[in-house]
Amino acid sequence: MIVKMRQGATRAQISAVERLLRELEFETGKMPGKDHTLIGVYGDVSQAPRGRIFEMPGVEEIISISRAYKRATQKGTGTDRFYSTFPIGNVTIGGGDLVVVAGPCSIESERQMMEAARIMKDAGAHVLRGGVHKYRSSPYSGWEGIGAQSTDDLIEGLRYIVRAGREHQMPVVVEILDPSLINVYEDAGVDCLQIGEPNSRNTILLNALRGTDLPVIHKRGNSLDPEDYLLWVERMMINGKENIILCERGVTGPSQYTRNTLDLGSIAAFHHQLTHLPAAIDASHGTGNRDLVHPMTLAGILAGASVLLVEAHPNPLVAKSDGFQTLFPEQIGNLVEATKEVWKLRETIAHLYVPSAALEPIYEKRVSDDRERLFGRAKTVVGKGTLEEGGGDRAAQL
């Protein structure tokens, strides 16, 4: 991390920043330049109080020079970005098309999956989902998934979804809980694995998934900061695995009304700033409210999601889990229709998004002239009673 001081920052201001950084136990290295002094900060800067440093008098900018998630990080330049593309079965993720992953929360029976697959296909979904072993909030819920009791049951449940997917030409996604069963999912013909929210930082599972060729949808833990989450994603990538889809499914927030709080800002950050990996939005778990899934899924597309996870069931009123947030067949059809329009809109307006990196160099060259032109040579208070020339935007103007 580098702290860039303003042009004309005083020696006292530079020393104060260095002093604070050392008090915080970082090593520092000063690089005085013609216009700006740079202060290199060494050590684990992930916990550095950036806001506090940024607010110090004379500080212009904090520049991150490397991100801890080296493989998951953004690739290309701010104006010319590279995004990963890879297949789930015969469906391309991160390419030119939006991908809809839809299906029931749980695999409940052979017939239910067959009907669900037909409904998802008719609705225009591309990938079929369903869980074989479910996390439940209460151990007394009475339903832990069709494959919860034994590996044989699990294999049987996987057979239902794989058969239904094949019958309707849709690859299938199933959540995995147990790292020792990865080969069971692979052998059953599952096309993509899902890491559920409770396992978002399950070291053993993530380490084990490094070895599978199957793509993985990794759901963000509901209390994980976006960059901490990317570090957990990175864990799967360290031996070269690249086919990972991020998934925003809501974080813990103040709302009692929605099951979770969908963090659309993080989807925008993943897509525009932080990573080359494709991002999904799961508004079913994100809202926990069937009637909010449609609008929030559409919002997620504009924020930057290119994959959509949606729970839908032949009759959500008899679903064994998450029925309250699960769409009726008519609703999934209408939603997919609407997503196509929003995707078209996103593509049409994409060129109107101008990253600041494209403009900053132009405006940086004009800083001194513009400061003088707009503010004259006004006296400004920076810090506790220090009088200085120039107009810092964070300083209190007198």
Residues within the interface to ligand PEP (CB under 6 A): 105, 131, 135, 175, 196-197, 219, 249, 285
Helix (H) or strand (E) holding 184: helix 182-188
Per the CB < 8 A criterion, the answer to whether 298 and 338 are in contact is: yes
Instruction: Pick the closest to residue 284 from 306, 313, 241 (CA basis).
Output: 313
CB of residue 167 to Mn ion, shortest distance in Å: 23
Q: Which is nearer to Mn ion, 282 or 388 (by Cβ)?
A: 282
CB of residue 198 to Mn ion, shortest distance in Å: 12
C-alpha distances (whole Å) from 67 to each of 1, 64, 70, 229, 280 are 9, 7, 6, 13, 22
Q: Which is nearer to Mn ion, 139 or 361 (by Cβ)?
A: 139
CB of residue 104 to ligand PEP, shortest distance in Å: 9
Which residue's CB comes closest to Mn ion? Answer: 105
Q: Which is nearer to ligand PEP, 60 or 322 (by Cβ)?
A: 322
Per the CB < 8 A criterion, the answer to whether 199 and 152 are in contact is: no
CA distance 101 to 308: 6
Instruction: Pick the piece of the chain touching Mn ion (CB under 5 A) from 13-21, 146-154, 267-275, 316-324.
Output: 316-324
Sequence-distant (6+) residues with CB within 8 A of 59 are: 3, 4, 5, 6, 9, 13, 17, 53
SS3 assignment, position 300: helix
Q: Which is nearer to ligand PEP, 197 or 388 (by Cβ)?
A: 197
Residues 99 to 138 in contact with Mn ion, rule: CB under 5 A: 105
Among ligand PEP, Mn ion, none, the one that 271 touches (CB under a kind-dependent 5 to 8 A) is: none
Q: What are phi and psi of 329, to 5 degrees?
A: -55, -40
CA distance 132 to 108: 8
CB of residue 36 to ligand PEP, shortest distance in Å: 45
Which residue's CB comes closest to ligand PEP? Answer: 196
Task: Please report, as a single letter, which amino acid is at residue 177.
Answer: L
CB of residue 178 to ligand PEP, shortest distance in Å: 15
Per the CB < 8 A criterion, the answer to whether 238 and 69 are in contact is: no
Q: Which is nearer to Mn ion, 45 or 105 (by Cβ)?
A: 105
Q: Which is nearer to Mn ion, 284 or 339 (by Cβ)?
A: 284
CB of residue 263 to Mn ion, shortest distance in Å: 18
Instruction: Pick the closest to residue 127 from 95, 97, 88 (CA basis).
Output: 88
Question: Of these, 322, 332, 336, 382, which contacts Mn ion (CB under 5 A)?
Answer: 322
Q: Which is nearer to ligand PEP, 219 or 235 (by Cβ)?
A: 219
Per the CB < 8 A criterion, the answer to whether 111 and 161 are in contact is: no
Site string for Mn ion, 62-101 (x = CB under 5 A): ----------------------------------------
CB of residue 369 to ligand PEP, shortest distance in Å: 52
CB of residue 133 to Mn ion, shortest distance in Å: 12
Q: Which is nearer to Mn ion, 286 or 383 (by Cβ)?
A: 286
234 binds Mn ion per the rule CB under 5 A: no
Hey, CA dihedral for 208, 214, 220, 226, is it positive or negative?
A: positive
Q: Which is nearer to ligand PEP, 105 or 181 (by Cβ)?
A: 105
In our burial notation (b when 16+ CB lie closer than 10 A, e otherwise), range 283-316 reads: bbbbbbebebbbebbbbbbebbbbbbbbbbbbeb
Among ligand PEP, Mn ion, none, the one that 143 touches (CB under a kind-dependent 5 to 8 A) is: none
Per the CB < 8 A criterion, the answer to whether 31 and 71 are in contact is: no
Both structure tokens of 262:
């969908």
CB of residue 266 to ligand PEP, shortest distance in Å: 15
What does the binding site for Mn ion look like in residue numbers (CB under 5 A)? Answer: 105, 322
